[in-house]
Amino acid sequence: MPLMSARDFQRSACTLSTSQTNLDHCLQWRDEHTRRAAQQVRVRQIPFAQLSDWQFDDVTGDLRHSSGRFFRVQGLRASSDVPQINGWEQPIVNQPEFGILGIIVKYFDGIPHLLMQAKVEPGNVNLVQLSPTVQATRSNYTRVHKGKTPLYLEYFIDRKKSRFIVDTLQTEQNSRFLGKRNRNMVVQVDEDFAIDERFCWLTLGQIRRLMHIDNMVNMNARSVIACMPLEHDAPTAARGEFAAVLWRSINATTALYRQNDLLSWLTEQKATHELNVELLPLRTVKHWRHSDSEIRHCSGNSFSIIAVSVEAEREVASWSQPIVAQDNVGLVGWLAQQKNGVLHVLVQAKIEVGNLDIVEMTSTVSYLERADLLTEAWRPAFIEHFLNPAPGRVRFSAIQSEEGGRFYQMLNRYMLIEVPENEALDVPPGFIWMTLRQVLEFVRFGFFSVEARSLLACLDLS
C-alpha cells in the first residue's frame, strides 16, 4: 500500500461512515465498555499513608515511587518578569522520561482508519474514553510495574513492522508538569492483524465529530490527532458551512503574517521575558496546606495532590498512586476572525512554570483556575469573550477531560469564538493572528501547548 499522504488524511477527516464502522456503532461500542467498567472498576480516594510503593521522602517530603521511576511530586519556586508568576510556589510533577502516545492507521476502502482504544483511566470522570492505540510511559512499557506489555506496542518500537508518518515530541500541561514531553506518533500498518474487543477502527472525521460530546475522546488522542498532516491544496468535501471556512484556513497560501514574521515574534517573546525555576523540598512550599489525604493551596483556587486506589482490568489489576485533582472547570478558548477572507485564530505566547523554553504558544485564553474568583486586578486578556459570548459567535463548545492517568476528573471547557470581521480588537504584544495552516506547521515542531493542540483537534472538518 502507498504511504498515507496529507490528502489521504483529509479524506478521512471528511468521512463519517464506512464499511468498517459508523458513529452509532462507535457509540454503542463505547457505551458497552463504559457499562462493563462501571461494574468492574473501582476508584476511591485514600489517605497518603495507604499508598502502596509510594512514600514521602524523610528529608525533602517529596512524594516518590519506591522504584525511583514513574514520577516524583516536588516543590517549585518561580521568578519571572510576569507578576502573576514571580515568587509563585507550588507542587510540580517531575517525570523526565518520554512516554509513547501512538495511533495505528490502516487503509480500509482507500480511507485511512485510526485504531482507537476504549481505555479505563482512574481520573476519567466517566471511566472510559477513546484513547490512542498505545499510551504508556516508559516505566509502563518497560514493565517497571511488572504488568503486561501494552497491546500493539511493537508497531511503535520496531520500524520493520510499520511505517512512521508522525513522530514528534510534544509537551504536556506546563502548569502542572516540569518540562514533561511525550512522543506523539502515527504509524501505518498494512498487514492484517486481529484486534482486541477494546479497540475499534474509526475515521478521523468520526473522531472529530465525537469530540462534540463531552468527555468522549481523551487528551492523549486529541494531542496525537492535532499532529496529523492535512492536505493544503486539494478541494475538500466538507459538508458544513463553517467546516469549509476551516478548510480554507488550512489551505490558505496568504496570511496576515509570514512564517518568518511569526518565528521572529516568538523569538522576541522568549528573548524579552524571564523565567527561572528552582526545585524545592515539597514540605517547604509556601501557601500549600498538607493534610493526611491532600495537599491544597490555601486560597482554594488551584489544583491539589491526592491519592487514589484503583481496581481495574488493565496491564496491572490493582494499584494506588498520587494524582493531580481539580474541582472547577477551566477554560481554553480561541478567538477567530476573518482576515482578508481567511479565518485566523489569535495565538498567545504564554509563560508557565514548567515551560522548557520560557514561552509556549497556546490558545487565546488558557485559564485553568476558577473564573468566578477573577478580580479586576487580574483578568486574562479576552476572557470576557468566552465567559459571556454573544449569540451566534460560538463555533465550538464542549467539556473535555485532561489525561486521566495523572489528573483526577480535571475538566476544561474548550471553545472557538468567531468575532465578526469588522469588529476591532486591541491585540497586545503577547498575541498574534495565525491561519490554521500556520498553526499546523508550528504544532509539527512542538511549539504549541497541549491545551491548544486539544482545541485544534476538536474542530469538526466534515
Write out pLDDT tens, residues 234-272: 555 556 789 999 999 999 999 999 999 999 999 999 999
DSSP type of residue 436: H
Amino acid identity at 271 = A
> In the chain, how many H helices and how many E strands?
11, 25
Element (H, E) at 9: helix 6-13
N- to C-terminal Cα distance for the chain?
Answer: 25
Q: What is the CA radius of gyration of the chain?
A: 22
**Burial (Cβ within 10 Å: 0-12, 13-18, ≥19) of residue 377:** exposed
Nearest to 322 by CA among 64, 145, 90: 64
| Residue reference for cell 454573544 | 390
In this structure, are strands 318-325 and 407-408 parallel, antiparallel, or unpaired? parallel
Could you tell me if 450 and 168 are in contact, meaning their C-beta atoms sit under 8 angstroms apart?
no
Please state the φ and ψ torsions of residue 68, each to the nearest 5 degrees. Answer: 80, 5
The greatest distance separating any two alpha carbons of the chain, rounded to the nearest whole angstrom, comes to 63
How far is Cα 451 from Cα 462, in angstroms, rounded to an integer?
A: 22
Tell me if 351 sits within 8 A of 441, measured CB to CB.
Answer: no
**pLDDT 10s per residue in the chain (462 long)?**
899 999 999 999 999 999 999 999 999 999 999 999 988 899 999 999 999 999 999 999 999 999 888 899 999 999 999 998 999 999 999 998 899 999 999 999 999 999 999 999 999 999 999 999 999 877 666 655 556 789 999 999 999 999 999 999 999 999 999 999 999 999 999 999 999 999 999 999 999 999 999 999 999 999 999 999 997 665 555 567 899 999 999 999 999 999 999 999 999 999 999 999 999 999 999 999 999 999 999 988 899 999 999 998 666 778 999 999 998 999 999 999 999 999 999 999 999 999 999 999 999 999 998 887 787 777 899 999 999 998 899 999 999 999 999 999 999 999 999 999 999 999 999 999 999 999 999 999 999 999 999 999 999 998
Q: What does the DSSP assignment read for 219-285?
A: HHHHHHHHTS---SSS-----SHHHHHHHHHHH-S--SS-HHHHHHHHHHHHHH--EEEEEE-GGG-
Q: What's the number of CA atoms in the CB half-sphere (13 Å) around residue 225? A: 38
Query: In this structure, what is the dihedral angle of CA atoms 292, 126, 328, 137, given to the nearest 10 degrees?
Result: 70
Angle (CA) 353-90-303 rounded to 5° is: 95
Pairing of strands 111-120, 304-311: unpaired
Query: Which domains occur in the chain, in start order?
Result: 6-42+96-236 (3.90.79.40)
Residue entry with cell 479497540: 199
**Alpha-carbon separation of residue 209 from 283, 389, 404 (angstroms):** 45, 23, 21
Cβ contact 6:231 at 8 Å: yes
The answer for residues whose C-beta is within 8 angstroms of residue 190's C-beta and 6 or more apart is 1, 106, 107, 163
pTM, whole model, 2 decimals?
A: 0.95
Give the SS3 label for residue 195: coil
